[in-house]
Structure 1
């Protein structure tokens, strides 16, 4: 394949994608966004929806997302504070849906027995679990620049990738990220020793496009003008597609978890910000994910 150089805007787009992934990557961040996507909540209302989180874990995530401009903290009285998505945060929900779709299609799943028929079928994974599993593959350092370069070039040598995706590093530094991406099934090496994207790696293009478009969009005017601490009244719910869902890490014990796991990720009514999900999407399995092997077999 030809090794054409990326367009001039590529570095700017890549920067936006990297910043957005840095926003989503810290543990529990996606959970909090999903919890707030359907309505504005007080802290005491958020806490029961994330019962496994200690106070020391929830407060930092709220501060992180508030500082990023996707969550708004509104104080009505000293002991009456609410949290809700800004318009910028609501606009992020379709991006999360795109990531979830990629994960559902390209990440491995175990085969489980259908209770009704007894036949083996792929496990149903909650959409938010697919998001966290996908993020776990693409947020490691240098992963996105390498994938971005291969999206533009088609194929490239390790030397070219080291120069373009890891400037300032020596050639040997590129091999560890390349090895990890190959193990995760996102890239492959061809007969000449050059690297290229696998099918699942090429399918990340819509994910990167969605993230890039969100990152490049200017702040919504109402968010830009709204003074900090002023927002919707507590009775006004914000619309959004997500129910609370934990990450790919081992799910803490919760009374609702066993029933929810069996419910699966059924789609419900759509909203202006993207698809909506049932409460059955709350909890997730505990199995690390990998893209589907070219040889087939059980997924995830």
Structure 2
């Protein structure tokens, strides 16, 4: 069950340029594979392989600690590039017109490569949170797939936190802004779950699959029918779930999955998802405790 949130606003030309950035992790490869199955060939894929320069600073990290991480970071970058050329370059080349091995996420090298490509749309295939100077390189916007329903469940460990907060499992495509999972919502889709116990890992895999398929639907509408995605801003800001907390809370989330919570929530939320005007079912989710988040 899906709902288009932002609707369609106008058509785009056949020469719309769409590129993807990916760290070549699971979600990025899944998305690229699903695009390939639909016969969609992207203009370029930029693989985030890092480089020999110092790694990006982490939140609150000292300059000395960042320099201490430099040798190991450079070694990992060399290994990533070697694996890409030896094992996966042909796989990438079959799914896009051009493969570019670029630097770290948000690096000057990535910005330079994107500005040379001048994409209309940038599609995120994992890798972290974009900074404004990278978002600005896409003329019409940056599209991301989130494996949960926005705006209600943001951040990390979102499948488990959906179960805990009383939000049905699903996926969202949104336009990226300077926040984390705060950009205008383009489309949402509920994830049907059969009655009975489920493993949390299986639900997470299904949510990743649903997110990839929904983003492919949006890209296909853009490519084949020239329909530009339009987003609806969040009416309310919900807390951001942190990676460290997600690890601590995982046993409780696994217990909820084993108790069949996902199917119960699907049945409860289905009537709310019949059109674009989604709303919280009666008995709003537990908002939890807001706090600063980390990339995940």
TM-score, length-scaled by structure 2: 0.26
**Greater strand share, structure number:** 2
**Greater helix share, structure number:** 1
In terms of Rg, which structure is larger? 1
TM-score, length-scaled by structure 1: 0.25
